[in-house]
A and B are shown apart, each in its own frame.
Chain A
Amino acid sequence: MTELDYAEFPKDKISLLKEKLICRDSQIVTLLSLLGEPQHYSYPSIFVYGHTATGKTYVIQTLLKTWKLPHVIVNCVECFSSRMLFEYILNQLQGNWLSSENERTSYLRCNSLNEFVLLFKQVVREQNLLNQTVYIVLDKAEQLREMDANLLPGFLRFQELAEENVTVFFISEIVWEKFRPNTGCFEPLTLYFPDYSKDDLLKILSRDHPPEFSADFYTSYISILLGVFYTVCRDLKELRHLAALNFSKFCEPVKKGNVREEDTRRLWRNIEPHLKKAMQTVYLREISSSQWERLEQEDEDSKHLKGLSAHGHVELPYYSKFLLIAAYLSSYNPARTDKRFFLKHHGKIKKSSFLKKHEKTSNHLLGPKPFPLDRLLAIFYSIVDSRVTPSANVFSQITTLVALQLLTLVGHDDQLDGPKYKCTASLDFIRAIARTVNFDIVRYLYDFL
């Protein structure tokens, strides 16, 4: 089924499609043959799924546009309420956009699915679309599950409800099994868009090569890029972005005249550490793409720039710091060990005798445990050297830390007596804070004894 030979498919359009959409031949054939001719009925709902950036939206969009079929493409993230969704579809179908020119006279309003069905019929009649299939494409269809309960089953059997020749496309990354409502629904026809293989990616990425270099040169660059990133990332969009960002660095030696284009080995040696660094920075959006480009131009070492996460240092008041440290200690130490750490005459207890069977895994693996306010204050008083009065200030600082999301309140929100907290700061953050007040936190942590 590789040859397109449906009698009515014009050859030139197909070759145009094939040129635009590479590595998607079999999907195009399946889709086209499912859609059939405009006056034919198509299946009421078609569910398309596949990974991020496998060309789901692009293929369907290009196909509908090239074939000049009446269609509306809606992004369900944009239209987050059912009302917006309905109005968007109706007005797109009418060819209206909200603008000052048409003074919103012909702008249709629609509140419920019931009204939508009536208005949809009316619009279809007005626009002379009666004898051809109208396509509604719902992109990011996983959002529909969180909207009104009748929306997803309603769109699935829309052809039956509206009694018009309509096909609804659902595009999603998530498999159909997670959509099915618990009382069941009309089952759509599911189509899978497979992921691109490494060769496919190479073919697609090599297409946007800059005109001043030869195609082979750019292809060799792409294969180096894939060699570094392919184990981590198969997202075409991300790879394309990375390819565009790092190319200037790659062709720099050629431009300077040090290396010939054919000398792949030296080019590879030049670019590889650079790409590895890109994985830790640009790929994680630690530093932005524009910063990265500037770095490349200025020929600086990219280590100079601090990333986003390096700006984790927060300036806090003196007592807040100690409160936070106390909170960290109470979150990550078992309460039994408090005596040993914070009382003066605790006697010698070895860690091995402390260990219970279930506590063999470290607390830094399991995450913070909740603790009561009293324990926090007790540890706070014992680690602060000077005498602190439990003033309103101290308590308001605790709630401020909650507001800053360094602590979180566990359980009921409106508990005045005996609230429980959790510390959500990371170890590195606490270490940095402890260093500023000369407190050796590692000595007090049970995990590091």
Chain B
Amino acid sequence: MSKRKTKDSSLSLGECIAEVHMTLRRRFCHHLPCKPFGVEAQYKNLLDLLKQTAVHGESNSVLIVGPRGAGKTMLLKSVLNELKKMKQIEENLLQVHLNGLLQTDDKIALKEITRQLQLENVVGDKVFGSSAENLAFLLEALKKGNRSSSRPVLFILDEFDLFAHHKNQTLLYNLLDIAQAAQTPVAVIGLTCRLDVLELLEKRVKSRFSHRQIHLLNAFSFRQYVEVFQQQLSLPKEFPDGRFAQEWNQNIESLCKDKTVVDILQKHFNSSKDFRSLHVLLMFTLSHVTVSKPSIQSMDLLDASRQYTMDSKANILHGLSVLELCLIIAMKHLNSTYEGQPFNFEMVYNEFQKFVQRKSNSMHFEKPVILKAFEHLHQLELIKPMEGASVRTQKEYQLVKLLLDSSQIMDALQKYPQCPTDVRLWASSPLE
């Protein structure tokens, strides 16, 4: 071992682990902009487009469409990072970030635009003037400019489909109108997960949109998925302790060849291709890494996967009392005899009484006690009332529907701790 190497690997194990957590958590939770995976063509497309706006003063509009967790924001962020590196663009370009979740109507959106552009009617973080004044002011400012002299503005509309729900789509109309007319150069970039987003737009808005779409559709194979898995878990070159990082990366590499790990990943790949679900899995895995266990084992991943794929309704069923379970079985029988017709408490009670009288002698309860159990099931949303108005009918006669599958019930019954035998028998064979 050379001297230099011993010098930079001077961190103790505890510090190393803390550093690993720091780096990887940043990656999984905060979604730092990094080079996106498998979307080189889209990346180049978007970069060229934005360059056209930033350098040549062309006005553009584009929609980035893709399912949740496909890396739309990541793609945009890395493109913007790339743009920032070019010096003349960085000084020149203005950015306005809007989000459909935050700017729920046009008034708020206008205020936000003026605030982010730092226009004259902004003092500190406050915007003055009514929204009509704001709009007029903003349009005036944007219209005065021309292609050659004014600074280009980049409008980024996250959750674009929510902006289409605003009244009259005024904001979209105005933005796209400016993008079409020869005024201040603007680029309108919409990010959405709805494939039918163009159908939401009004005719006049739709005609002003350039119909340029970039699709991000998770088109990669399982082999690439494993590669991403490895890349996400590996430590970067900048890691302070070189030796530790090397060992860690070697461990990850051997992990990717492990049979159990590949099986788990295949299972996850089959259920969903998006990276966010992978991040949840990795986050669970990472939480197992401690000083006494400084590397990831395949068992950790197995554990994490088990935690991730738990059936939540089965969990809830597991915690019910025996009486509540009996009511659910009674509902299951009602469902199978009346073929999915809704039922009320009286019918369930009647079914349950039949069971108690014929088969079981351990379960004699008063009707109000059973009603309380029934209401608890309602509170857990395992049953759902058919009509909303609850005041109109007595609670005994309110029609409800069971929100559980019969196989779910049978599975839960198998796992139920100390289930009485007569109840189990009743569940498998209804009374005649």
- Which A residues are closer than 8 A to B by beta carbons? 1, 3, 5-8, 30, 33-34, 36-37, 39-44, 49-51, 54, 112-114, 117-118, 122, 148, 150, 153-154, 157, 159-161, 173-178, 183-187, 189-190, 192, 194-195, 197-198, 230-234, 279-280, 283-284, 286, 309, 364-368, 405, 408, 410, 422, 424, 426
Q: Are B319 and A184 in contact (CB under 8 A)?
A: no
- Closest chain A residue to B107 by CB distance? A112
- In the complex with contacts A114-B108, A424-B394, A176-B319 CB distance below 8 A: no
Q: Are A7 and B291 in contact (CB under 8 A)?
A: yes
Choose from A173, A177, A234 the contact partner of B379 (Cβ within 8 Å).
A173
Question: Which residues of A are found within 8 Å of B310, using beta-carbon distances?
Answer: 190, 192
Q: Told that A34-B283, A43-B28, A232-B369 touch, could you supply 7 new A-B pairs with CB distance under 8 A?
A: A6-B291, A40-B21, A186-B276, A187-B69, A189-B280, A194-B315, A367-B394
Q: Are A280 and B346 in contact (CB under 8 A)?
A: no
Q: Are B288 and A154 in contact (CB under 8 A)?
A: no
Q: Are A284 and B369 in contact (CB under 8 A)?
A: yes
| A280 to B365 CA separation, bound complex (whole angstroms) | 9
Q: Are A8 and B283 in contact (CB under 8 A)?
A: no
Question: Which residues of A are found within 8 Å of B277, using beta-carbon distances?
Answer: 187
- Which B residues are closer than 8 A to A by beta carbons? 13-14, 17-18, 21-22, 25-26, 28-31, 68-69, 73, 99-104, 108, 112, 125, 161-162, 193-194, 276-277, 280, 283-284, 287-288, 290-292, 303, 310, 312-313, 315-316, 318-323, 344, 346-347, 350, 363, 365-366, 368-369, 372-373, 379-381, 391-394, 396-397, 417-418
Question: Which residues of A are found within 8 Å of B316, using beta-carbon distances?
Answer: 49, 51, 175
| Distance in Å: Cβ of A83 to nearest Cβ of chain B | 13
What are 16 sample pairs from A and B whose C-beta atoms fall under 8 A apart?
A: A6-B291, A7-B290, A33-B290, A40-B22, A41-B29, A54-B319, A122-B125, A150-B101, A160-B31, A173-B380, A190-B310, A231-B323, A232-B321, A232-B322, A284-B368, A405-B391
- Closest chain A residue to B272 by CB distance? A187
Q: Are B283 and A36 in contact (CB under 8 A)?
A: no
Question: Which residues of A are found within 8 Å of B21, using beta-carbon distances?
Answer: 36-37, 40
Q: Are A368 and B397 in contact (CB under 8 A)?
A: yes
- In the complex with contacts A231-B321, A231-B322, A232-B365, A41-B26 CB distance below 8 A: yes
Pick the 5 closest A-B CB pairs, nearest first.
A367-B397, A195-B319, A33-B287, A175-B312, A7-B291
Q: Are B288 and A1 in contact (CB under 8 A)?
A: yes
Question: Which residues of A are found within 8 Å of B69, using beta-carbon distances?
Answer: 187
Q: Are A113 and B101 in contact (CB under 8 A)?
A: yes
| Distance in Å: Cβ of B361 to nearest Cβ of chain A | 13
- In the complex with contacts A41-B25, A189-B280, A279-B369, A408-B392 CB distance below 8 A: yes
| Distance in Å: Cβ of B97 to nearest Cβ of chain A | 10
- Closest chain B residue to A150 by CB distance? B101
| Distance in Å: Cβ of B385 to nearest Cβ of chain A | 13
Choose from B104, B319, B369, B394 the contact partner of A112 (Cβ within 8 Å).
B104
